Chains A and B, each alone.
Chain A
Amino acid sequence: MKDLYKKYVTDHLTHQELEMLKNTDPSILDRELERFMEEEWQSDMLDSSNVSEELMVRVKSQLDEKIQLRRLSMPLYVKVFAWAAAVLLPLLILSTFYLYHENHQLVSEEMVVATGLGERATITLPDATKVTLNADSKLTYIPKVYNKKERKIKFSGEGYFEVSKDKERPFLIDAKGLNITVLGTTFDLLVRNNEKTAELSLESGKVMFRSLLSGKFVILNPNQKVVLDQSTGNLVVMKDESQYVAPWKRNELVFRNAPLSSVLSSIEKTYGVHIVMGCKECNSDLFTGTLVTNDINGVLEVIEEAYQLKAVMNGHEISIVKVK
């Protein structure tokens, strides 16, 4: 493995070796890569004699600009604070209240689109970006500022995004534990508050996906999927094996070695029902298959058949028991 990295840095890779690298499990790839990178960094062979002074100076001046920007804001902040502190208490309270009110007004011009359990919705944003929301999802944006310098939204749940191309205004998504930068693309994003992971499957275009916790980010290419572990901020990129992204949009639920408990949970969300599972041991059985979701009865029949269960529906309550 180390040889491949050596070949990569010295541009001696063969086509087959490149394929090998592409097909290696990303987490193993990265682990070995880190080890190799450390060796390279410590290596005596690193020859920096050709680097020009001009380059060093140029990068430094850009760097200094960025540092200055941060510094400038500080003194001003300190000045205002000193002034506020010097003012009489009632006046201080009044001005704080006024500022809060101002901010609150601007901020409250929010547009929220939300779906409940068993619901779906499509929203078209001011720039013609189309988002199809799956059940139990929420999208928020501020019409006044959206599409000015950038296109920013807040999101939780699951949605299929068809983002209009606009090089000048990046499409940004704020969601739990992550943010995403997009430039004209189609993808499915799944990030729920109570889930341990978040995933994005890219259909076309290019997306930058970043973990807020670890700062790690990846740039995805089509037919790739990234899974974020919310507790560690680790990202895993994998090839998206399914030909299509967002099977739920085509009224399908696709499972691969999923425990029955999570299948039932998906069914609950899709139809807005509540399932009481009588057979506790069955919850860990694994299910692989595709459920066509036009009709809940069909779905329940599949589950009944597969696990020798009986489902009884009472309005929105479903109870499942094992058939002896």
Chain B
Amino acid sequence: MDEVNLIRGLKQGSKSAFDAIYAMYFKRLFVYCLRFTKSSEDAEEIVQDVFLRLWNIRESIQQEDTLRSLLFIISKNYLINAFHKNINSPVYEDYVNYQEQIAVDNISRMEYEEFVHQLNHAMSRLPKTQQLVIELSRFKQLSNKEVAERLSLSEQTVKNQLSLGLKMLRSLLGNAPIIGLFFILNDLFRYVDK
């Protein structure tokens, strides 16, 4: 069935026309979204939202020959927000630093998603306090004083826990196949002396 007929069907509320349109555009839309979200989970969610929106507005669709541009318009805001979320994320910043470093050392590249996964896995193996301290200090960007307040600890304890945690992360990630992660921790160590 060609797209013109599918669109006509969709406008009249045909679920099977919608299913066919979904099959037509899903893969392309997913790959496209992934380029901006850098996370499969987020890309899946956005693709779902885009098609859901398409279904909800089906009666007022203006396009007749192709939905290519309409899908773009619907996805635009979701992706712009995903972009902003990433560039402002401390973990993404670590990733960029890491990428720069391995480009220099010629080690094989890692996707952002894999990077986050490795980091989270290593983090979960840390003792609870060290985990919390690193999360608040680096990922939520609080000062040592603020972290101390939040967790009811002394500032010195916070510094100690940060130092211990980072050392442990370093050794944990050292055993991972991707050794390059070492380099981001140099950056993280900055925060011990804040």
Contact = CB atoms under 8 A, between A and B. Distances in A.
Interface residues of A, number: 44
A63 B52 contact: yes
A60 B141 contact: no
Interface of B: 15, 19, 22-23, 26-28, 30-32, 35-36, 38, 44, 47-48, 51-52, 55-56, 68, 72, 76-77, 79-81, 83-85, 87-89, 92-93, 96-97, 99-100, 103, 109, 111-112, 140-142
B81 A11 contact: no
A2 B137 CA distance: 33
Contacts of B47: 59
Contacts of B111: 11
Contacts of B72: 37-38, 41
Contacts of A62: 48
Given A33-B80, A48-B27, A60-B22, A40 B99 contact: no
B28 A46 contact: yes
A144 interface: no
Nearest to A4: B87
Contacts of B142: 204
Given A11-B111, A55-B30, A217 B81 contact: yes
B44 to A, nearest CB: 5
A237 interface: yes
A143 B130 CA distance: 39
Contact of A22 (B22, B76, B85, B87): B87
B81 A218 contact: yes
B44 A59 contact: yes
Interface centre among A47, A60, A62 (most CB of B within 10 A): A60
A214 B81 CA distance: 14
B67 to A, nearest CB: 12
A14 B35 contact: no
A91 B93 CA distance: 66
